[in-house]
Structure 1
Amino acid sequence: MPYSAEISRRHPSCFLFLVDQSGSMADSFDPKSGHELQKAQVVADAVNRLLDSLGQRCVKGNEIYNYFDVGVIGYNSEVAPALDGSLSGQAIAPISTIYENPAELEHRTQQVSDGMGGIVEVSNDFPIWFKPIANGGTAMCNVFEMARGLLQDWVEKHPQSYPPTIINITDGESTDGDPREAANRLKEVHTNDGSVLLYNIHLSSEDVSQISFPSTADVLQDPYAKLMYEISSPLPKAAKNAAEKEGYKVSSESRAFMFNADPVKLIQFLDIGTRTDNLR
């Protein structure tokens, strides 16, 4: 069966995050609330938390097992690797290299329950690998082409591995053409265990219904949403299990796509897309 290969240090898998950095990412998620919850900042925080979480999953004793290679590519009118600091310019790196080399540690405070009905303020250092950017267009065709080149090289070195997973985070339509052809070429890249998995999540500032992991395009009214559904991969087993645990209704026909997501749905989507149940 496809998508069943064990993920190990000898046969790692790969996660590649494609992040829309166009001008509209400066918009607020909820403009009516008066809170400036900028999409670009929310996405940066979510990706940074996920990079930290992926690193923690790979810690065994005093060692970080390189179960994953990971990359972050930003795209607006240009397309380029988006990691900062000592990792600047690197498109894909082993998880140990990423986990041990954040660009900076940002001191943050948050209020949490004290377990007795009260609230206490807790401080921590938040690792930053990726910073928010919002300007220009949405070169989705070009970013899919860059991802294809990177992952073609990767699968040639890891033919027995669990296929790479791409998570594309965007709030708008492609401005450099119809992305179908580029997405289909990207999904033709494969290991012996299956084709590249392409997840797509659309972020919204509109007060409209969210649609998660649809099994048919008929539930989508927006032509752009139908296009994104079309280019998204079917959900693999591990992701279906993770989605069901989060309370989503999924079927054997569900696609790796979410439309009009808010910040909470974004975090859940990233977690579901990176869940694996075959680490060894």
Structure 2
Amino acid sequence: MSYTAEISRTNPGCFIFLVDQSASMSDPMGAGDVTQQRAEVVSDAINRLLTELSVKCAKEEGVRDYFHVAVIGYGHNHVGSAFQGALAGRDLVPLSEVANNPARVESRTKKMPDGAGGLVETSVQFPVWMDPVTNGGTPMTRALGYADILVANWVEAHPSGFPPIVLNLTDGESTDGDPTSAAIALASHATADGAVLLFNLHVSGTGGTPVTFPDSDEGLPDTYARLLFQMSSVLPSHMRSYAASQGHRVSETTRGFVYNADITSIVEFLDIGTRATELR
């Protein structure tokens, strides 16, 4: 295990987000009177992350292409790009093009400190690249196969780079067969810096305590949870260190897996799972 390759414009990294768009993603999550559809929470989290990545990679001349990004939706017998607007239908897109082409920019309200110990609502601009979609089943096996093709092409073109990172966000079991073989095939691709990383997050609607970045499948509630755990890659050392700094208990066998995720742990999963090495 290496995962130390420097990320630069000539040796960029690659993020592939696989987003469950099945009918059950319309179910609510949250607490009390504050609930959202699971699909809305996941879409907001990914849109926010794309903004943060763009800001992180921005220099005086504009956003640098340290990463290429794909957002792939799967549901209702369809697997393909979830980008909207000018990027619709495209898979891996250089980050500068992502940053410059949101489908739209919404005005949203956000509570901010007022400087006197209280909070005040203010309007913020919120770029949107993908919308929540909920329809049909959960063709996870096909989605992993779709990512496999993207990853294979990327690794061939960038044989010495930081390996692609695939983040799968879902709320249910695969409806097109056991995804294990597809996950193994996907994670078998490698660059000189290490194997492809596959991280999995199960979105909850039932409440309860999230299981975040476990190092074994002990205590997971069912066969499906254990399956997702086994499909998930071990976190590289720099991601483990960052997870530990955020208060997570980690070990050398900690995996990129969250079960029964709430809104907070979805954001943490994306934050930790997209921690790359130093940018140049």
| TM-score (norm: length of structure 2) | 0.97
Letter in 2 for 1:55: S
Shift of 1:63: 2.4
CA distance, structure 1, for counterparts of residue 221 and residue 121 of structure 2: 44
CA distance, structure 2, for counterparts of residue 233 and residue 261 of structure 1: 18
Show the counterpart of 2:156: 156
Show the counterpart of 1:268: 268
Shift of 1:219: 2.4
Correspondence 1:138-177 to 2 at 5 A: 138-177=138-177
Correspondence 1:160-239 to 2 at 5 A: 160-239=160-239
Deviations 1:221-259 (A, max 9, x none): 311110000010000112112211210001001011010
Show the counterpart of 1:133: 133
Deviations 1:77-105 (A, max 9, x none): 31010001000000111000101110101
CA distance, structure 2, for counterparts of residue 80 and residue 143 of structure 1: 8
Letter in 1 for 2:257: F
Show the counterpart of 1:114: 114
Deviations 1:164-195 (A, max 9, x none): 00000001000000000000000011111111
Asked whether the 8 Å contact 2:141–2:177 carries over to 1, the reply is yes
CA distance, structure 2, for counterparts of residue 46 and residue 179 of structure 1: 25
CA distance, structure 1, for counterparts of residue 45 and residue 22 of structure 2: 17
Gaps of 5+ in 1: none
Show the counterpart of 2:8: 8
Letter in 2 for 1:205: G
Show the counterpart of 1:37: 36
CA distance, structure 2, for counterparts of residue 192 and residue 74 of structure 1: 29
SS in 2 for 1:80: strand
CA distance, structure 1, for counterparts of residue 249 and residue 118 of structure 2: 35
User: What's the Cα RMSD here?
Assistant: 1.2
| TM-score (norm: length of structure 1) | 0.97
Letter in 1 for 2:271: D
SS in 2 for 1:19: strand
Letter in 2 for 1:2: S
CA distance, structure 2, for counterparts of residue 5 and residue 35 of structure 1: 42
CA distance, structure 1, for counterparts of residue 142 and residue 266 of structure 2: 23
Show the counterpart of 1:242: 242
CA distance, structure 1, for counterparts of residue 34 and residue 116 of structure 2: 30
* Residue 73 of structure 2 is aligned to residue 74 of structure 1: yes
Counterparts in 2 of 1:177 and 1:89: CA distance versus 1, 3 Å: same
CA distance, structure 1, for counterparts of residue 81 and residue 24 of structure 2: 20
SS in 2 for 1:50: helix
Deviations 1:10-54 (A, max 9, x none): 100100000000000000014x72444111111110000000111
Show the counterpart of 1:59: 58
Show the counterpart of 2:18: 18
Question: How many residue pairs were aligned?
Answer: 279
Asked whether the 8 Å contact 2:5–2:277 carries over to 1, the reply is no
Shift of 1:218: 1.6
Shift of 1:203: 0.6
CA distance, structure 2, for counterparts of residue 72 and residue 258 of structure 1: 19
Show the counterpart of 1:91: 91
Letter in 1 for 2:74: Y
Asked whether the 8 Å contact 2:4–2:277 carries over to 1, the reply is no
Letter in 1 for 2:131: K
Gaps of 5+ in 2: none
Letter in 2 for 1:213: F
CA distance, structure 1, for counterparts of residue 111 and residue 102 of structure 2: 24
Letter in 2 for 1:107: S
